[in-house]
């Protein structure tokens, strides 16, 4: 294990920086814009009717019938999760 640590230490050291905390590491990932209201609306329209609800037990028909109010709130929730980059534990089921 020590040998590997030394190997990667030599391989990854940058200009004499030895102790880099995880929060200081920046990636070159491209930024992807959060889902727009239009994208959300298009996908709600695509929901199939008369299918079994998921683990949340919310039928797709309720989401479709909820109109702008429900759609707007769900869209806000999705964007919040998108920006935090973390799914709620319940959604991981």
- Tell me the pLDDT tens digit for each residue of 15-73: 555 555 555 556 666 678 889 999 999 998 898 888 888 877 888 888 888 888 889 99
Single pTM value for the model: 0.58
DSSP 39: H
Which among 16, 21, 19, 12 has a CA at the least distance from the CA of 4? 12
In the chain, DSSP assigns E strands to none
Task: Report whether pLDDT(75) > 70.
Answer: yes
Contact by Cβ (8 Å): 82, 34: yes
Domain ranges of the chain: 2-92
Which among 9, 93, 87, 82 has a CA at the least distance from the CA of 39? 82
Q: What confidence score (pLDDT) does residue 26 get?
A: 63
């Amino acid at each position: 294990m020590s040998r590997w640590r030394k190997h990667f230490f030599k391989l990854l050291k940058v200009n004499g920086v030895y102790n880099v905390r995880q929060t200081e590491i920046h990636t070159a990932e491209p930024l992807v814009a959060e889902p727009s209201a239009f994208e959300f609306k298009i996908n709600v329209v695509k929901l199939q009717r008369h299918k079994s609800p998921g683990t949340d037990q919310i039928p797709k028909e309720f989401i479709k019938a909820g109109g702008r109010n429900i759609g707007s709130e769900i869209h806000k929730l999705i964007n919040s999760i998108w920006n935090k980059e973390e799914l709620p534990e319940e959604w991981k089921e």
